[in-house]
Amino acid sequence: MSKIQIKMTVNGKAIEALVEPRTLLIHFLRDQLNLTGPHIGCDTSHCGACTVDLDDKSVKACTMFAVQADGGTLLTIEGMAAPDGTLHALQEGFREMHGLQCGYCTPGMILRGYRLLKENPKPSEEEIRSGISGNLCRCTGYQNIVKAIQYAAAKLSGAPVKEAAE
Amino acid sequence: MIPGPFAYHRPKTVADAVGLLASLGEEARPLAGGHSLIPMMKLRLAAPQHLVDLSAIAELRGVRNDGGDIIIGAMTTQHALIADATLGSKLPILRETALLIADPQVRYVGTVGGNVANGDPGNDMPAVMICLGATYHIAGRRGERRIAAREFYQGAYFTALEPGELVTAIRIPTPPAGHGAAYEKLKRKVGDYATAAAAVVLTLKQGRVATCSIGLTNVAETPLRAEEAANAVIGSTLDAATVKKAAAAAEAIASPASDNRGPAAYRKKMAGVMVARALERAKARAA
């Protein structure tokens, strides 16, 4: 099947590429753009490890074709930190609050947390939990992930943040 | 998992989409949010030669009033539906139902049209549309036709849609102010289809049920309209004995399969439990 030319902005950079229509967005990101932060967890749209931000929406890149993202603006975990390496408040939150153990779900969790906080800068614990209900973590029991997102919400709103306990 | 090869089309109008589907024939499938179709393609349970992506067709999106009816474009996402102020005030059951579908990421992409049109008995919106007396607008090569949700579903993945036709919009008669509605869904986890679910829309007059309709999800090959259960509560104050009778009438028409959500007998029983809970909650919400 002939390839199609697509254009998009990925982490602030304009890109153009040729893709087969059947190429899934996750494979395009990982294999063609070498952005291996978004992970393939379940490959069945359940786990959320492949979550990226596309046109102000959190989407599961395993259940979308790259051609569907043509013309779009994408953000992946690789685009979260500032160019000088300063971590985004969410990344800092996951580090400070021990929001990860194996780290496999983390890029998806952070990208989902990013859109959640854009839409709702001061979420309740309940809203955070339902907001990340499409992301599975098999290590942490979610408690510290919730705390990490709370940390980021506080930091982004200018409130002083507490360092994690021991 | 990698789907089979296909050619991709992204028309800008309904006329172009219908024209493409007509000329490409049975090897073409429309693509809405893709969260049912793409997983099937990844498993190679579906292998269309052509995908006609409907996402660039602006006329398929959005919510508007038309006389006494509310019209929802088929490509309106569950996320947009949840955020819509008109629906929030006039048809809150849609928001309640949409929030029980899948998870946030899927709701950003998944559409109400895809949910009602693909005929999956696990989908939640069909029973709600049956309950609300909705009508589907359908575009095809020969023009537009309309069909009641109550006549649309023929079997699992079998609907009244002819090859090459598209559901373009859903027309819902606005329920009277003061109506009470509820959607009760029993599921094992976020993202699961219902073990059993029930939709109820009712109105009260002097504390008694004046009108009532009930729909059931995922307890048969198609969504069900539970007419006998609804009739059982009309004229009552929804006392415990009447609610029990309605639940039993709903159970009587449920014919779920045994699956990993539970044995058939359990799922049948849960259909009744969901009806009872939805009736109670709809009553509490009615004025």
A43 near B CB under 8 A = yes
pLDDT digits (tens, 9 = 90+) for B54-74: 999 999 999 999 999 999 999
How far is B94 from chain A, CA to nearest CA, in Å? 18
Q: What is the pLDDT of residue A163?
A: 66
| Three-class secondary structure of residue B139 per DSSP | strand
Q: Which strand (E) or helix (H) includes residue A165?
A: none
> Per-residue pLDDT for A140 more than 90?
no
pLDDT digits (tens, 9 = 90+) for A46-82: 999 999 999 999 999 999 999 999 999 999 999 999 9
| Three-class secondary structure of residue B217 per DSSP | strand
Q: What is the mean pLDDT of chain B?
A: 97
pLDDT digits (tens, 9 = 90+) for B122-144: 999 999 999 999 999 999 999 99
Q: What is the pLDDT of residue A160?
A: 83
User: What mean pLDDT comes out for the span A152-158?
Assistant: 96
Which of A46, A63, A116, A149 to mutate against chain B (most B CBs within 10 Å)?
A: A63
Is there a contact between B105 and A20 if contact means CB atoms under 8 Å apart? no
The pair phi, psi for residue A29, each rounded to 5°, is -65, -50
Contact yes or no for B226/B216 (Cβ under 8 A) = yes
Of A2, A21, A44, the CB nearest to B39: A44
The pair phi, psi for residue B76, each rounded to 5°, is -65, 125
Q: Taking CB atoms and an 8 Å cutoff, what residues of chain A touch B41?
A: 22
Q: How confident is the model at residue A166 (pLDDT cuts 50, 70, 90)?
A: very low
Q: Which residue of A has its CA nearest to B40?
A: A44
**What value of ipTM does the predicted structure carry?**
0.95
Count of beta carbons in the 10 Å neighbourhood of residue B275: 31
**What's the length of chain A?**
166
Go through A54-72 and write b for each residue having 16 or more CB atoms within 10 A of its CB, e for each that does not.
beebbbbbbbbbbbbbbeb
Size of the A and B interface in Cβ pairs below 8 Å: 82
Residue A28 is classified by DSSP as I
Q: Taking CB atoms and an 8 Å cutoff, what residues of chain A touch B38?
A: 45, 63-65
Q: Which residue of B has its CA nearest to A48?
A: B105
* B280: Cβ contacts below 8 Å, ≥ 6 apart: B238, B243
> Per-residue pLDDT for A137 more than 90?
yes
pLDDT digits (tens, 9 = 90+) for B221-239: 999 999 999 999 999 999 9
Residue B198 Cα distances to A82, B11, B66, B130, angstroms: 49, 37, 28, 11
Please give the structure tokens belonging to residue B247. Answer: 């639940």
Measure CA of the first residue to CA of the last residue in chain A; give whole Å. Answer: 56
Residue A119 Cα distances to A110, A123, B140, angstroms: 14, 9, 38
Residue B62 is classified by DSSP as -
